[in-house]
Chains A and B, each alone.
Chain A
Amino acid sequence: MHKFFSNRRLVIVIICLIVSFGLMSVSVAIRNKRSTPPMVQQFGNDVVGLVNRVVAWPVSGLKGSVTGFSDLMNTYQENQRLKSQVQELAQTKVHDQAISQENKKLKQELKLNHSLTDYTPVNANVIARTPSAWQNQVIIDKGSAAGIKKNMPVLSGSGIVGRISEVNRTNSKVELLSNSSESANRFAVTITNKNGQSVHGIISGYNRDKNLIEMGNVTSKTKIEKGDKVSTSGLGGVMPSGLFVGTVASTGTDNYGLAAKISIKPATDLSELNVVTVAVRQAQTTN
């Protein structure tokens, strides 16, 4: 009888296994430590990304016509709803303008060039999504040529959706908040309650079943209520402060009953991303 694992085959299988594990650990180490992938990988990604845009064009055209039709169907309802919001928005905008001018003058007097809230937006299109359940990752069509660096926050709609995990010359990968990896979504955030007191903390995970961001290990006694706004604090790294993350959905204690665990409803629907904005912080950064 022919033995399935002949000596030669066994050796090949073992070598393949070793090479596979080696490649995986090296690439994860590079991903965690270095700001850009190796030259060869960058070049490969740029070439593949270029063709991707050509292939994506007819697909997005088809999708555009389908969604165009469904958008047309609910235009009336949307129009009614938006009309009521426009009035309010105009007022806020004028107020906002006055405040930002005042802020600019005060900064000049203090000789502050760029504070943590300043950022330049870089708009990018989503060209592909990783077909894997383990990496909630999208690929965008802007890279280091547009000034994007690793770990920069990515916004869509009204809030933050993730951060840059790999930068190539003309495209980059974005890890979404919903990623199940152990180190993907550790953002420094701050919650401000109705009395103006704030609690600092770090996002510690994502609840896949309920679609909520979790913030654990909160030991502060400040009262946090449902509906309080959560934004980035700008502490550590390249993140500007004041980017909207979401609103508090519920508070409770963690499994050991010691620290508080806060669930946050994300500001943007993470499953619908077409155009994203990368926030490039203007203030001096450490990396």
Chain B
Amino acid sequence: MVRVTKLRYGFPIGLFLFFYLDGILGAAFPRQLFSEPYAMSSYLVVLWLVFAVFFEDQIQIPLGIWAAIAGGLFDVYYTGVWGIFIFVFPIVVALTRACYKAFPINFLSGLLVYFIDITVVCSLSYFGNLVVHMTSASFTDMMVDSLAPTLAYNLAAYVILYFPVQWLFNRLRN
């Protein structure tokens, strides 16, 4: 249960803000993010969910449900194909929770966990698109043109946002 803290409002606002930023940044800086054949997909909304697992502490946010909501909106609004991110985002949250229990999370181990998360998001969305014939790219193309730039972008975002978001969660909790 989310107790009556500012996190109750802060968490959804942050989630939606990052959700919109994913699309808006792509539209505002297309030359930097999508110069053919490379494509950096911005998954800031995943970053917010992962940070929430790291920093929620005693307060249990129903993250699985929020992840499904964010994933559903991602499917409907951005891709137009139901059924991919609505399942991928909760899987990522569950994976991060499992890692969180297995070893202590700090800045560096968190970076590694986020590395795995983004790889999972990229690969699952690729396979999803492949089975419904939305893409014809080969697996190697996906690794070089999409996964590598996406990892670089999202890990950079992690490094930049880790401490600000930690500070924000601490503020909102008290």
Name the residue of chain A whose CB is nearest to the CB of B124.
A20
A41 contacts chain B at the CB level, 8 A cutoff: yes
A129 contacts chain B at the CB level, 8 A cutoff: yes
Q: How far is the CB of B50 from chain A (nearest CB, A)?
A: 16
B174 contacts chain A at the CB level, 8 A cutoff: no
Once the chains are docked, how many angstroms separate the CA of A211 from the CA of B31?
14
Name the residue of chain B whose CB is nearest to the CB of A16.
B87
How many residue pairs bridge A and B at CB < 8 Å? 160
Interface of chain B, main secondary structure = helix
Chain A residues whose C-beta falls within 8 Å of the C-beta of B86 in the assembled complex? 20, 23
A20 touches B87 (CB 8 A): yes
B36 touches A133 (CB 8 A): no
Chain A residues whose C-beta falls within 8 Å of the C-beta of B14 in the assembled complex? none
Once the chains are docked, how many angstroms separate the CA of A87 from the CA of B38?
39
B27 touches A129 (CB 8 A): yes
B132 touches A24 (CB 8 A): yes
B51-83 vs A, Cβ < 8 Å mask (1 yes, 0 no): 000000000000000000000010011111111
B20 contacts chain A at the CB level, 8 A cutoff: yes
Name the residue of chain A whose CB is nearest to the CB of B30.
A271
Chain A residues whose C-beta falls within 8 Å of the C-beta of B133 in the assembled complex? 28, 181-183
Pick the interface stretch among A42-50, A93-101, A237-245, A246-254.
Answer: A42-50
A52 contacts chain B at the CB level, 8 A cutoff: yes
Chain A residues whose C-beta falls within 8 Å of the C-beta of B43 in the assembled complex? 131
A20 touches B26 (CB 8 A): no
Q: How far is the CB of B19 from chain A (nearest CB, A)?
A: 9
Pick the interface stretch among B1-9, B101-109, B135-143, B165-173.
Answer: B135-143
Q: How far is the CB of B1 from chain A (nearest CB, A)?
A: 23
- With beta carbons under 8 angstroms apart, the residue of A28, A52, A129, A209 that contacts B81 is A28
Known A165-B80, A271-B36: A133·B145 in contact at CB below 8 Å: yes
What is the size category of the interface that chain A forms with chain B?
A: 35 or more
- With beta carbons under 8 angstroms apart, the residue of B17, B36, B125 that contacts A178 is B36
Chain A residues whose C-beta falls within 8 Å of the C-beta of B76 in the assembled complex? 41, 44-45, 48
B80 touches A27 (CB 8 A): yes
B125 touches A132 (CB 8 A): yes
Name the residue of chain B whose CB is nearest to the CB of A52.
B20
Q: How far is the CB of B85 from chain A (nearest CB, A)?
A: 9
B28 contacts chain A at the CB level, 8 A cutoff: yes
Once the chains are docked, how many angstroms separate the CA of A272 from the CA of B86?
30
Once the chains are docked, how many angstroms separate the CA of A81 from the CA of B131?
49
B150 contacts chain A at the CB level, 8 A cutoff: yes
A273 touches B26 (CB 8 A): no
Chain A residues whose C-beta falls within 8 Å of the C-beta of B137 in the assembled complex? 133-134, 180
A contact residues vs B (CB 8 Å cutoff): 16, 19-28, 31, 37, 41, 44-45, 48-49, 51-52, 55-56, 59-60, 63, 126-139, 165-166, 173, 178, 180-183, 208-209, 211, 270-274
Q: List 12 A-B contacts (CB under 8 A).
A: A20-B83, A45-B76, A52-B20, A52-B24, A52-B77, A55-B24, A127-B24, A131-B22, A131-B26, A133-B150, A180-B136, A271-B34
Return the 3 tightest CB-CB contacts between A and B, nearest first: A23-B83, A128-B23, A129-B26
